[in-house]
Each structure stands twice: as C-alpha cells, then as structure tokens.
Structure 1
C-alpha cells in the first residue's frame, strides 16, 4: 500500500466515521489525523495550490501550470505538492515529463462534514 493510499485510509477512518464536532468530541487518534490534514491546507501556498488544481479545467492540473503562478522554485512547489499528496488531498500521475494532479473531492467532503453541524443553517447573503 502506498503512503498516499495509507493516508486516504487513515483519513477515511478518522473523518468518515466521525460525526460533526458539535455532536461528539473527536478521539485523540482522530484529532491527530485531522490535524495533519488541516496542517497541510493551513499553509497559504498549499491552500492556493489545492484551489488551483481543483478549479483547473478538467479537474486536473499539470505541475507546469502550477509552477509559474508562484514566485517559488520548482523544488519548493514540489515539496508543497508532496505535503498535499501525503495528506491524501491530491494524487499525481506522471505523463511523460510532467506530473498531473487531481484533488480527492471525497477527502474534502469528509473534512467539511466534520466541521458542519448536523443541521447547518442556510447561508443568506
């Protein structure tokens, strides 16, 4: 099992089984795993990378499309993508020279399910 698959399994177990925070407290193990994921998206560059990938046409983005957006070196971008990948939020597929990234919407859905109360009030503008 790859590190990414293991993290997705852990995330699924930590988040997928949890009710919203307002209903019952997290276990120590769930809190540790959730904090790793939130730490991954707690960095502004990683949060922006996640958003760029998710909103890119076709739901995937080439690393070549992501690198030019930031004033960071290629290795730094690669590091941030690795953190997101290890947190189970994205996956990458090598195609020739480039790696294409996709967001795991189910991971984001599980995170949001933990944060939303059972009966979230309607958002009014």
Structure 2
C-alpha cells in the first residue's frame, strides 16, 4: 500500500451516538431499501431509461409505437418493458389486440429524478438528433 494514498477509515474509533442514532432512525428499513434499489436498477439500463422517457412524454404507447420511437426492435423493447413492469415502473392494459403501456406514478417520479439536471455536454456526448 502506498502511504500517500488516503485511507477511507478512521484511525480512531469515535462515535457521536446521539447524532448517529438520530440519523439511523431516519434510514428506511431493509424492505424499503430493497424495493428502491430494484426500482433504480429498472432504470439503470440506457434502453429502459429511453423507454421510460418516451412513456413520460407520450403518456401511453403500444410496443409497436414504442419500438419506432426509441428506434429498437419490437422484441427488445418488449423485453425491457417486462423488466420495467417487474420493477413496478410501468403498467399495462389490453386494448383489443394491443397492449398499452404507461409509467406508474413511481415510474414518473424516478424517471424525472434520473433525467433532471443531466448535461449531455458534461457527459462528453452531443444529444442525438432525429
């Protein structure tokens, strides 16, 4: 180990118990954390985030329209929609021979939170032009 590298642990055990306990009391329980992590994983893929962004803009879309909007094969879009549905970020309903998808309230909130403040120039990429 290089002695000039910072170490991420304290050299002394010091615990401000009242402060630590007040924070610990606000941390969600394990089940809530697991559900939130699953939802976050739902949008951790660029294809799923693209689908969620399209649903946020279009309110409700069938798989065919969604595939055209995001420019990907229908089978791939359908696969990602299932993953979004499993993460409770998307709901679906049958309309005749079509299956219509829309973001759940949680899906809207998480998609907005993930996309808020994203600066494409800072990410080193120009935005795609259609």
Q: Secondary structure at the match of 2:69?
A: coil
Q: Which moved more, 1:25-34 or 1:44-53?
A: 25-34
Query: 5+ residue gaps in structure 1?
Result: 1-20, 114-125
Distance 1:83 1:24, change over 3 A: same
Query: 5+ residue gaps in structure 2?
Result: 1-22, 114-130
Give the deviation of 1:28 after TM superposition: 2.1
CA distance in 2, matches of 1:108, 1:69: 18
Cα RMSD, aligned residues only: 3.0
Give the deviation of 1:81 after TM superposition: 0.2
- State how many pairs are aligned: 91
Q: TM-score, normalised by structure 2?
A: 0.58
User: Greater share of helix residues, 1 or 2?
Assistant: 1
Q: TM-score, normalised by structure 1?
A: 0.60
Distance 1:111 1:24, change over 3 A: farther
Q: What is aligned with 2:38?
A: 36
